[in-house]
Every structure is written in structure tokens, then in C-alpha cells.
Structure 1
Amino acid sequence: MTALPTQVLVPGGSASTLVAAASGGDTCTAGDGVFLEVNNGNAGARTLTLATPGTVEGLPISDRQVTIPPGERWKIPIPARLYAGSDGQCAITYTPDAASVTVGAFKVI
């Protein structure tokens, strides 16, 4: 998995960059004000699976799946309470593959 750097968006505005999604998946730091921006440049839908390592009353929380239609650009919140593993990271995978998908992790301050 490739670690996505968190790009901080400041009140006066910031440049932002999306990178090619890694075929083996990506990780990003989860937290308040953090979100993923995902651009699906593929002709078919792509589904992101966000690992949810937590439990509620001993029961595992199902991983979140978000389907991005072809040609669309979405923003997905990544709060730590849902997505942070023991290392503070959110694990992201792409199906059927990461072809023509670009992604970036951002934090609004």
C-alpha cells in the first residue's frame, strides 16, 4: 500500500494535487477535517473500500464501500473514529482495479 501525504488546505486557499491510485491500495492519515478526493477517469465505476477496524459492543463494523461513477470526482470524509487503525491510518482499496483513478488526502484547518 502507498501512503498518501495529507495536504493541508489553509483559509487563504491552497494548491492541491491528486496522484495515481496504487494498484495494491493506499493509506492515509484519518482525522477530523480529513477527506479523500477521488477522481474516476475510467469508463467504468470504481468502488473504494475503506477499512473500518473498530467494533461496537464487540461486533466488527463493516467496511465502507463507496462507488464512484465513471468520470466523476468525489470527496469522502475520513474521521478517525471510523477509519483509524492502530497506526492512525485508513486503508483504502479499489475494485475492480485502480486504473485511471487519481486520489489525494486533504485536511481542512
Structure 2
Amino acid sequence: MAALNAVPVSSAAGVADLGAVAVAAAGGGDTAPCGPGYLLAVINGGAGPQTVTIATPGTKNGHAIADATLTVAAGDTGVIVLGREFRGANDRAAITYSAVTSVTVAVIHLKGA
């Protein structure tokens, strides 16, 4: 798994070109920081939909919590909040993709969130 770095975004600066800060999704998956203010943007430049899965390692009352999924249509961009519930043993979210051809991703950290 590749370790994604977060791009800090303040209310004063913002991100004008999300594609410019995005990197190729890794075939074996990625890890990302998670917690308040973290978002994962997925840009699908491919011809078909792609599903992103984020592992939810915790339990609630002894029951496993279902992993989160986001399906991004061809040519579209999807965003999902990387909350604390995704924090794994290494304090990072584990992210996998149904395919990675023409898929780029960016982790955004909203400053002050």
C-alpha cells in the first residue's frame, strides 16, 4: 500500500485545481491520514464506474462495522470524509479500489476543521 500525504487547505487559499494535487491510485491500495477535517477525493478518468472501499476496523457492541464504499461514475469525481472510524492500527485509513487505471486520488485536510 502506498502512503498518501494530505494537502492542507485553508479557507483563505482553497484548492483551485484538484487534479493538480491528485496522484495515481495504487494497485495494492493506499493508506491515508484520517480524523477531523480529512477528505478523500477520487477522480475517475476511466470508461466505467470504480468502487473505493475504506476499511472500518472497529466494532460496536462486539459487532463488526461494515466497510465504507463509494462508487464513482466514469469521468466523475467523488469525495468521502475520512473520519476517525477508519483509523487502523497504524493510525491511517486503509483504502482499496476495484481498479486503478485512470484513477487518481487526493487527501485534503481542511485547516481549522
TM-score by length of 2: 0.90
Q: 2:109 — aligned with what?
A: 107
Q: Percent identity?
A: 38
Which ranges of structure 1 fall in alignment gaps of 5 or more residues?
A: none
Counterpart of 2:25 in structure 1 is: 21
Number of the residue aligned with 2:2: 2
1:62 aligns with 2:66: yes
The residue type equivalent to 1:94 in the other structure is Y
What's the CA shift for 1:11?
Answer: 2.2
Structure 1 outlier segments of 4+, above 3 Å: none
Alignment partner, residue 88 of structure 1? 91
Does the 8 Å contact 2:29/2:96 carry over to 1? yes
* Within-5 A mapping of 1:18-57: 18-57=22-61
CA distance in 2, matches of 1:11, 1:75: 18
Cα displacement (A) at 1:14: 4.3
With normalisation by structure 1, the TM-score equals 0.94
RMSD: 1.0
Deviations 1:39-96 (A, max 9, x none): 000000000010000000011101111110100011110111x10012210000000x
Letter in 1 for 2:65: I
